[in-house]
Amino acid sequence: MNIDIQAEAITPRRHTFSHIARRFGVDKPASRYEEATYDVQPVANFHYRPTWAPEFELYDVARTRIVMADWYVFRDPRQFYYATYNISRAAMQQSFDDAVNFVEKRGLVAGVAPAWREAVAAYLLPLRHLEWAANMNCQLIADWGYGTQITSAAAFCGADRLGLAQVISRIGLVLGEGGDDHLVAAKTLWVDGAAWQPLRRLAEDMLVLRDWFEVYVAQLVVLDGLVYPLLCESFDAAGVAHNGAPISMMTGFLADWFADNSRWTDAVMKAAAGESDANRTVLNGWLRQWGERAHEALLPVARQVLGEEGDAAVAQARRQLSARLEKLGLTLGEEVPA
């Protein structure tokens, strides 16, 4: 339609919004990620102090010890805005559904050694509660974080964590042949099982943190950085001896998700650490503190799954995280003896 109008008559008068042009130049069309993400959060002239925290403005840089000159340096390498995020996750979910359908239709779980089935139910299913805590932590970051860039990505990560908790629950239903016995049992383990209590205590301790960047470090960098490698590498590898491949088919997405999420967390940590020595000092302090806590909390779970090799597996996960952080200019700190 309207092709009869000569092209010069409908030349755009500008390429993008002024706030985007101020960052990237006036003559460049902006990407959808940029327009959706940069400078969207209100920054000035707030009308009322929160009745629940009058010491802060509604959006306030003082809610964390991390100090940034510009809060829009946390570019998400995945460039997620709502549409790309959901399309990506719908695809991830589809591949999980395909895997579960494949396993269910062929009754493959029946071929897994019963003891390993029980072991998986005992280590994987309680983690859905840990995901739920991660979900709450992401909501805190989305709530109190500063700048659309890091908070929108945290909101997506929060949705991921609810989704992960639900996907793990679904595996629980598969293991229970459709029944919920395993989910009920796993909750009892999480709440009362001795091996899980250090981890649950850690999760609850994180839920009372108020510095949102500390929550980011403790949950998304440290705890995830230890739990996922442990789960996706050491625990998964232990299943090979028990014909665990059908389980691995269903849990394979966990490693994919972690790799995807780590691209974002690495970018965030690198930018925060690169900003100043002061930031690096704060970050290293949190890494050390929460690294020690997480290491200790995971030992009993690892021992339960891997026996005497459990300690080495946690130490291995810790070395991986440490190497990752070193590339970002950060230090996890020394290994703690168990």
Partner 1 sequence: MVARKLSLKQKYGHFTRGLDWEPSYQKQEDIFPFATYEGIKIHDWNAWEDPFKLTMDAYWKFQAEKERKLYAVIDSMAQNNGQLGITDARYLNAVKIFIQGVTPLEYQAHRHFAHLARHLPGAGLRVAAQMQSIDELRHCQTQIHTISHYNKFFDGIHDFTHMHDRLWYLSVPKSFFDDATSAGPFEFLTAISFAFEYVLTNLLFVPFMSGAAYNGDMATVTFGFSAQSDESRHMTLGLEAVRFLLEQDEANVPIVQGWIDKWFWRGYRLLSLVGMMMDYMLPKKVMSWSEAWETYYEEAGGALFADLARYGIREPKYADVAKAEKGHVSHQVWSIFYNYAQAAAVHTWDVDDQHLDWLREKYPETFAQHYEPRYRAWREQAEAGKRFYNDGLPQLCQVCQIPMAFTEVDDPGTISFRVSEHQGEKYHTCSDGCRDIFEHEPEKYVQAWLPVHQIFQGNCGGATLPEVLDWYHINQGADNFDYAGSPEEEQWNAWMEGRRPAAFPAAAAE
Partner 2 sequence: MPVVSLKPGYSGPVRDRVENFHGAYLVYVHWEGHLNFCSAITLPLPPTTPFAALADEILPSLYQADPGWSGVDLAAARWTLDGEDWSPDRTLALGEQGVGHKSLIRFWTA
Q: Are 301 and 127 in contact (CB under 8 A)?
A: no
Shortest distance in whole angstroms from residue 285 CB to partner 1: 22
Shortest distance in whole angstroms from residue 307 CB to partner 1: 27
Instruction: Tell me the two tokens of residue 126.
Output: 């309680």
Between 54 and 114, name the residue whose CB sits nearer to partner 2: 54
Instruction: Tell me the two tokens of residue 15.
Output: 């390429």
Shortest distance in whole angstroms from residue 84 CB to partner 1: 8
The residue count for binding partner 1 (CB under 8 A) is 85
Residue 5: CA atoms inside 13 Å, Cβ hemisphere, count?
A: 7
Which residues 62-121 are close enough to bind partner 1 by CB under 8 A? 81-83, 86-87, 89-91, 93, 97, 107, 110
Which residues 7-66 are close enough to bind partner 2 by CB under 8 A? 48-49, 51-54
User: Which residues, other chains included, contact 185 with Cβ-Cβ below 8 Å and sequence gap of 6+?
Assistant: 121, 125
Residue bearing tokens 């949950």: 219
Partner from partner 2, partner 1, none binding residue 315, C-beta < 5-8 Å depending on class: none
Considering only the stretches 148-156, 265-273, 281-289, 305-313, report the one whose residues sit in contact with partner 1 under the rule CB under 8 A: 148-156
Partner from partner 2, partner 1, none binding residue 188, C-beta < 5-8 Å depending on class: none
Shortest distance in whole angstroms from residue 122 CB to partner 1: 17
From candidates 23, 79, 163, 266, binder to partner 1 by CB under 8 A? 163
Between 26 and 323, name the residue whose CB sits nearer to partner 1: 26
Partner from partner 2, partner 1, none binding residue 34, C-beta < 5-8 Å depending on class: none
The Cα 253–Cα 248 span in angstroms is 9
Partner from partner 2, partner 1, none binding residue 56, C-beta < 5-8 Å depending on class: none
Write out the E strands in the chain. none
| Nearest of 335, 231, 314, 212 to residue 272 by alpha carbon | 212
| Nearest of 56, 207, 80 to residue 146 by alpha carbon | 56
Between 139 and 243, name the residue whose CB sits nearer to partner 1: 139
Give the three-class secondary structure for 257: helix
Shortest distance in whole angstroms from residue 194 CB to partner 1: 14
Give the dihedral of Cα atoms 107, 112, 116, 117; nearest 10 deg.
10
Which residues 172-211 are close enough to bind partner 1 by CB under 8 A? 173, 177-180, 183, 187, 190-191, 200-201, 204-205, 207-208
Burial of 44 (C-beta count, 10 Å sphere; 0-12/13-18/19+): exposed
Distances from the Cα of 49 to the Cα of 23, 54, 212, angstroms: 30, 5, 19
Residue bearing tokens 């964390």: 64
Residue 106: CA atoms inside 13 Å, Cβ hemisphere, count?
A: 11
Between 54 and 178, name the residue whose CB sits nearer to partner 2: 54
Which residues 263-322 are close enough to bind partner 1 by CB under 8 A? none
Does position 110 interact with partner 2 (CB under 8 A)? The reply is no
Instruction: Tell me the two tokens of residue 213.
Output: 């960047």
Instruction: Tell me the two tokens of residue 180.
Output: 């919920």
Between 27 and 55, name the residue whose CB sits nearer to partner 2: 55
Binding site for partner 2 (CB under 8 A): 48-49, 51-54
